[in-house]
């Protein structure tokens, strides 16, 4: 399995798409941190709530991890390399599990990079303003952000295996996170189905990042996120096992 995971990392490193993802991650994290600090009142700069909001700028890593997870699978079908992949490793479920592990690790690494970018902007800026960023007290938030991004990456692999079309997968994923789930949450809350709303994928992982949502804890958010990863991964494996890739 370690060899298969290493192959997945090699595939990621030898494509040009990762450069765009990294550039987007750095830009979004930097803009988010700068926007939070630049728009804050001077007396709020040292407050714990403000500093959590600044570090939350790193949570953009989750969406990018989801897109990379989808691409890890769908790019194989788009470029026709999936046939060679399954010829080398006929046990298709092992290939998909390796992709899940690779995407999980990549998601975590993206979050680490995003946190680094946020700190690189926030620490000197706040120092100039006479405030300081208490990284130690926010270590829990950083850890939860990394775990959430890792789960997003693994979730993308399962979803990508289900749809197999890169264009469809990326568009549907973005629309779900940005539009469909927020609208679904609003509708469910109107129907007094708050617990169902909080159990949707983005809501659960947001509860993990925020150390608990309105109705579920961070641990419950992590458990629900993991359940989505396992469920989509299993469905993706079944679809691939039953598919003719020739």
Q: Where are the domains of the chain?
A: 2-241
**pLDDT for residue 82:** 77
pLDDT in tens, the chain (246 residues): 777 777 777 777 777 777 888 888 999 888 888 887 777 676 666 666 777 778 888 888 999 999 999 998 988 888 778 778 777 777 778 888 888 999 999 999 999 999 999 888 887 877 776 666 666 667 788 889 999 999 999 999 999 999 988 899 999 999 998 899 889 888 888 887 777 778 888 888 888 887 766 678 888 889 999 999 999 999 988 888 887 666
Which DSSP category does 216 fall into? S
pLDDT at 213: 65
The upper half-sphere exposure of residue 112, i.e. CA atoms within 13 Å in the direction of its Cβ, equals 7
pLDDT, residue 246, reads 62
Instruction: Report the pLDDT value the prediction gives residue 204, as an integer from 0 to 100.
Output: 87
Distant-in-sequence, close-in-space partners of 191: CB < 8 Å, separation ≥ 6: none
| Tokens standing for residue 33 | 């941190």
Q: Which of 226, 35, 59 is nearest to 142 (CA)?
A: 59
User: What pLDDT was estimated at residue 155?
Assistant: 94
Q: Which residue in 232, 59, 221 sits closest to 157, CA to CA?
A: 232
Would you state the pLDDT for residue 146? 92
Judge whether 129 and 41 are in contact, CB under 8 Å.
no
Angle of helix 166-175 relative to helix 60-79, nearest 10 degrees?
160
From CA 100, how far away is CA 103, in angstroms rounded? 5
Q: Kindly report the pTM of this predicted structure.
A: 0.89
What's the farthest any 2 CA atoms get from each other in the chain? Answer: 64
What is the spatial distance between Cα 71 and Cα 49, in angstroms, rounded to a whole number?
35
């Amino acid at each position: 399995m370690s060899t298969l995971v290493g192959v997945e990392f090699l595939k990621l490193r030898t494509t040009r798409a990762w450069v765009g993802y990294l550039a987007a991650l750095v830009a979004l994290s930097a803009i988010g941190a700068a926007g939070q600090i630049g728009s804050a009142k001077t007396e709020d700069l040292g407050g714990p709530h403000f500093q959590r909001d600044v570090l939350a700028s790193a949570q953009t890593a989750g969406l990018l991890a989801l897109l990379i997870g989808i691409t890890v699978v769908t790019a194989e079908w788009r470029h026709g390399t999936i046939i060679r992949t399954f010829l080398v490793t006929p046990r298709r479920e092992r290939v998909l599990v390796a992709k899940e592990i690779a995407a999980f690790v990549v998601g975590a690494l993206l979050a680490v990079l995003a946190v680094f970018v946020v700190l690189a902007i926030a620490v000197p800026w706040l120092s100039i303003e006479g405030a300081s960023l208490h990284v130690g007290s926010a270590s829990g938030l950083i850890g939860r952000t990394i775990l959430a991004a890792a789960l997003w990456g693994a979730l993308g692999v399962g979803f990508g295996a289900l749809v197999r079309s890169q264009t469809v997968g990326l568009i549907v994923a973005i629309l779900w996170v940005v539009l469909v789930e927020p609208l679904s949450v609003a509708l469910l809350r109107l129907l007094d189905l708050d617990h169902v709303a909080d159990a949707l994928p983005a809501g659960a992982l947001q509860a993990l990042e925020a150390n608990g949502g309105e109705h579920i804890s961070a641990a419950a958010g992590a458990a629900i996120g993991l359940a989505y990863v396992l469920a989509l991964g299993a469905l993706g494996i079944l679809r691939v096992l039953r598919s003719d890739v020739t």
